[in-house]
Chain A
Amino acid sequence: MLLDIQNLTLGLPGAARPLLAEVSLRVGAGETVGLVGESGSGKSTTAKTVLRLLPEAASVTGRVLVDGTDVLALDGAGLRAHRAGTVAMVHQDPRSALNPVRRVGDFLVERLTSTGTTDRRTARAKAVELLGAVGLSEPERRFGQRPHELSGGMLQRVVIAGALAAEPRLLLADESTSALDVTTQAEILALLRSLREQRDLGMLFITHDLHLAAAFCDRVYVMYAGRVVEQQEADRLFTHARHPYTRGLLACSPELEDIDRALEPIPGRPPSLSDTFTGCPFATRCPHAEPECGTWIPEPVPLPGGGTAACRRLADLPEGPVEQPVLAKRSPA
């Protein structure tokens, strides 16, 4: 297994609840795994622990294995080599991911030289090659340009080129397309997919968009309040979502074909770091909650079709595609 996160729990001194609670997650080589959740659900934090980018005062338990090595135990040069070589991250906002005062080429050369290419001329040639590989026109010219001269989509390609510089085995894409407009988003997704195929990368694809994750990934994890609440094959998740939260997410996102369906927002508000939970964190917003849910510490329950869902009422929950409520037909205004 390329990435194997086991029972990862991460706490901060000031926070009422852990940022991450018992998170377990696996990504195989060549596999694309989606990680979905609202902001604050812990999905970015999970990705950052893979690079051991932790808040200063954080207390961590559990293991984060990359290729069998526990990342949390790394330090100093070993940690730098891990960050520079094995795993690369593509961040959300390409404009803030690049140093605005330096040239695009400097960014790439720097990445290349930190991973072994010591000769500057070779590094330069490689950088231009990478710029071409991520689909930028006139790579020679891009090399000398500065970030403010490029569009958001072009910059994200640069950032991806930078991530590829190290020839990593695992790519962490943290909301990598969220800041882009729709057409650019599609181009970047296509690029990520083809790169994954060519280079046999494992990819952890983080997004708040469940539909996007289901369409783009092989498997999807859904997170809520620092916990993984459900995990399934992507196409099954779409049709057989089990956890009430996942179903709530599906019910509240619009889709082309069911334009008449009423969008049902999940009642209540997303949990903040100051909320504490004695049991299932979703209980207060869950339509199926019973008093016992408030004291049941969630644990993954295996699903018949593969995957898990962390809900004690699985047996009583509806199956199959999220239903269209009867009262949903909107009367023409």
Chain B
Amino acid sequence: MFASIGRRLAGLLATLLAASFVIFAAVYAAPGDPAVFLAGGRDKLTPERLAAVREQYHLDEPLVVQYGRWLWDCLHLDLGRSFQYGDQVSDLLSSRFPTTLALVGYATVLFVVLGVGAGVLAAVRRGSWVDSAVVGTTTLTASVPSFVGGIALVAFFGVRLGWFPVTGSGEGFAGTLHHLTLPALAMALGAVAVIARVTRQAMVEAGAADHVEVARAAGLPEHQIIRRHVLRNALGPVVTMCGLVTAGMLAGTVAIETVFGLSGIGSLLVGAVNSHDFPVAQAVLLLMVAGYILVTTLVDLVHPLLDPRLKAMRSSA
């Protein structure tokens, strides 16, 4: 058990290192002088700025040393200075991260509740019109890119009906909730489809197990059978998929925050790329990728807890 956790964590570290190296070394793939590139291109270049970049990124030293120092600085939250905003990158991130986190959290709640609910409903009423409706709707929502879904939501619920604000992230809990409902819904739509299908499939498979019929033969109430024997046994794949989707949502905020004009790290990344503010782009990418890797590892670690057989298998392996 502990050995397997150790292996996972070692794998996590290795992947983090590899991913961060790719993000760091990307500078060298850029055409021209890396210092010029990091400083945001030739247009607004001053010698002082160039010197500052060289100093910050230790560009005069060998690549490995540069990477090591950069990583060390990153770990100390020293992410350099944005030449676009003139701020410390770490300050930019910390001021914008809460919005993104709230958005991802809200969307996660939505897609878990709606997705698992729809999946359970479809599985329980398999073959009925409810099942067809769920499958049909999810086929549809899975085929709509989140930004298109977001635009449609803004158009109807924001502008036409005026129920929700069209832009901004709101003040206070209620305000935030109000402002983030449409964006979270837009992000959740595709995820609901994925989760509903996984839940339906896992429930159908779990429901075909012999012990379910045995429970039915013993006269247990149907809702109890579904909860304790079918849904409980289907949780493994469902929880795993929920984790993976949540992890992917960090990247999904890039489009949604742009649609709704939210100032989170997703829109920060888009702005940084469009204005050639590479240090900021680098930092956001690093944060998102690290979050993604962390969440996926966490999911991997949680999975055996849901299935004692897996736990037994892994610890004996």
Q: Do chains A and B touch in the complex (CB under 8 A)?
A: yes
Chain B CB within 8 A of A91 CB:
yes
Q: Could you say which residues of chain B place their CB within 8 Å of the CB of A100?
A: 211, 233, 307-309
Q: Decide: A148 near B211, CB < 8 A? Known: A84-B219, A88-B218, A114-B221.
A: no
Give 17 A-B contacts (CB < 8 Å), ordered by A residue.
A51-B217, A53-B213, A79-B219, A88-B218, A89-B217, A93-B210, A96-B210, A97-B214, A99-B215, A99-B233, A100-B211, A102-B232, A110-B215, A110-B220, A110-B224, A114-B219, A148-B309
Q: Could you say which residues of chain B place their CB within 8 Å of the CB of A149?
A: 312
- Give Cα distance in the complex from A86 to B257, angstroms: 61
Write the residues of chain A forming the contact surface with B, with a CB cutoff of 8 angstroms.
48, 51, 53, 79-85, 88-89, 91, 93, 96-102, 106, 110-111, 114-115, 146, 148-149, 162, 166
Q: Is the CB of B218 within 8 A of A162?
A: yes
**Residue with the highest number of chain A CB atoms closer than 10 Å, among B210, B218, B221:** B218
Q: Is the CB of B219 within 8 A of A146?
A: no
Q: Which of A97, A148, A162 contacts B210 (CB 8 A)?
A: A97
Chain A CB within 8 A of B228 CB:
yes
Q: Could you say which residues of chain B place their CB within 8 Å of the CB of A166?
A: 218-219
- Give Cα distance in the complex from A93 to B214, angstroms: 11
Q: Could you say which residues of chain B place their CB within 8 Å of the CB of A93?
A: 210
Q: Is the CB of A84 within 8 A of B210?
A: no
Q: Could you say which residues of chain A place their CB within 8 Å of the CB of B213?
A: 53
The interface bits of chain B over 193-212 (1 if a CB of A lies within 8 angstroms of the residue's CB, else 0) are 00000000000000001110
Q: Could you say which residues of chain A place their CB within 8 Å of the CB of B214?
A: 89, 91, 97-98
Write the nearest CB–CB distance from B223 to chain A, whole angstroms.
11
Q: Is the CB of A101 within 8 A of B309?
A: yes
Q: Could you say which residues of chain A place their CB within 8 Å of the CB of B308?
A: 100-101, 146, 148
Chain A CB within 8 A of B226 CB:
no
Q: Could you say which residues of chain A place their CB within 8 Å of the CB of B228?
A: 99, 102, 106, 110
Q: Is the CB of A99 within 8 A of B229?
A: yes
- Give Cα distance in the complex from A83 to B217, angstroms: 6
Q: Is the CB of A91 within 8 A of B221?
A: no
**Residue with the highest number of chain B CB atoms closer than 10 Å, among A97, A101, A115:** A101
Q: Is the CB of A96 within 8 A of B219?
A: no
CB nearest to A97 among chain B residues:
B214
- Give Cα distance in the complex from A97 to B209, angstroms: 9
Q: Is the CB of B309 within 8 A of A80?
A: no
Q: Which of B220, B232, B233, B306 contacts A84 (CB 8 A)?
A: B220
- Give Cα distance in the complex from A114 to B215, angstroms: 11
Q: Could you say which residues of chain B place their CB within 8 Å of the CB of A88?
A: 218
Q: Could you say which residues of chain B place their CB within 8 Å of the CB of A146?
A: 308
Q: Could you say which residues of chain B place their CB within 8 Å of the CB of A82?
A: 219
Chain A CB within 8 A of B216 CB:
yes
CB nearest to A80 among chain B residues:
B219
Write the nearest CB–CB distance from B208 to chain A, whole angstroms.
11
- Give Cα distance in the complex from A182 to B312, angstroms: 28
